[in-house]
Chains A and B, each alone.
Chain A
Amino acid sequence: MMELQEIGGPFSTTVTDVVVNFAGVQLPLDPYRQHSRKTFFLSLLQSQSMGSVLAAASSSPAPAAAGGSQGVPGLVSVPPGFTMPSVSSVPATSGSDQQTADAESPLPNPGTYEECHRKCKDVFPLQMDGVRLVVNKGLSNHFQVSHTVTLSTLSDSGYRFGSTYVGSKQTGPAESFPVLVGDMDNTGSLNAQIIHQLTTAVRSKIAIQTQQHKFVNWQCDLEYRGENFTSAVTLGNPDILVGSGIIVAHYLQSITPGLAMGGELVYHRRPGEEGAVTSLLGRYTGENYVATLTLGGAGAHATYYHKANDQLQIGVEFEASTRMQDTTTSFGYQLDLPKANLLFKGTVDSNWVVGATIEKKLLPLPLTLALGAFLNHRKNKFQCGFGVTIG
């Protein structure tokens, strides 16, 4: 079950990080939402009286906005991926079959391609700006709404209404389908996602994003989880009339119980222009660490995640972009003290940016207070934010 503090943070009530790069669309960046490294589906476990249905929880990588420092420019970042309980190995039989079973134990499912770097990225704090008030309210076992008021100096201030519906088809202890998530702001801009488990191994997702009345992003995902591999196809902004669109194909294969390798192919087409970008990925999972490397024509991305103990997690990230001719190294850590109801994240990177966020539950009130600040010493810029989440 996903902890409410993980998903009910001040920046996690909205969803839909969608394909932007090759469509040439520059979305207005909401620093809380677009830079979010997670996309959460709200847990509906509010109280015993409301049951214990949990929405499918997933998180997404930060969108690779043009010129942004998150992600590898040139590679499309698809919206939130899926999470499923990992396929456990077949239990070894006793007696003489023990060794045979051990030798032939099936490889685990490696998860999705987008989630390979996520463990490290989740350690880093999110930039906060202005004031944010979030009120979450569960109305039933299946339905939850949220109200978000944002006051910001960098982006537009406003109100956003979000809702989440979780269906009755339970596929696991922590997942139910279909999942419908949507939110709309006071200007009429809509973000919506529909996730449904078609079969035991096939999952589909449709995501739509509008700016007021105009559709800016629409895409469809199809993911197949095999016994020891995962493949996914994403169709982004298809336009038959104009003849444009983006196709992203992912494949990830378990080589050994700790090693997974895969690749990504991105094909984009516009009138008068088309191209393809490929990248390869390798991930090694140790006892308490995960090392991941992505190499492609657009650059390289390496992350190292280390869980020192139950309280301390460390992430180190390296990004190199051949298109932007830029490299960045970031170091981040996360301190989780559940006894103190405290979550602290800090980061420092090679661009002389230092930042931190702190989240504190104000028990017994259903309040979570969040404070954050980022300093860019090189550009002499400072940014801070404050947020309160109720419910």
Chain B
Amino acid sequence: MSGSEGKKGSSSGVMEWIGSACRFATDRNDFRRNLLVNLGLFAAGVWVARNLSDFDLMSPQPVT
């Protein structure tokens, strides 16, 4: 009896944590959330700049 109640307690705790995480991720007015999102965007932008920008626009087109 106490074991099943403990499992229910832990699962409800996990659900609460998941719920709070979802609310944090979707709250556009939260400064910390926006800070994390924009830091991730900045890192993604740096990755794109370093890895996906090596193309030459003036190179001759391949003959098909």
Contact = CB atoms under 8 A, between A and B. Distances in A.
Interface of A: 289, 302, 304, 306, 308-309, 311-312, 314-318, 320, 325-329, 331, 335, 337, 339, 350
A321 B63 CA distance: 52
Given A312-B57, A339-B58, A304 B49 contact: yes
A171 B60 CA distance: 43
21 contacts: A304-B45, A304-B46, A306-B49, A306-B53, A308-B49, A308-B54, A311-B56, A311-B58, A314-B49, A317-B42, A318-B39, A318-B41, A325-B31, A326-B31, A327-B34, A329-B38, A329-B39, A331-B41, A335-B57, A350-B37, A350-B41
Contacts of B58: 311, 337, 339
B50 interface: yes
Contacts of A329: 38-39, 41-42, 45
Interface string B7-32: 00000000000000000000000010
B62 to A, nearest CB: 19
Nearest to A338: B58
A326 B58 CA distance: 40
Q: Most chain-B CB neighbours within 10 Å: which of A302, A326, A329, A339? A: A329
B49 A327 contact: no
Contacts of B54: 308-309
B57 A302 contact: no
Is the contact region of chain A dominated by helix, strand, or loop, or is it mixed? strand
B35 interface: yes
A213 to B, nearest CB: 43
Nearest to B33: A327
Given A306-B50, A314-B53, A327 B45 contact: no
Contacts of A325: 31
Contact of A312 (B31, B41, B53): B53
A327 B53 contact: no
Contacts of A339: 58
Contacts of A326: 31, 34
Given A309-B54, A309-B56, A311-B56, A350 B38 contact: yes
Given A289-B50, A306-B53, A309-B56, A320 B35 contact: yes
A317 B34 CA distance: 15
Given A289-B50, A318-B39, A331 B45 contact: yes
Nearest to B40: A329
A167 to B, nearest CB: 40
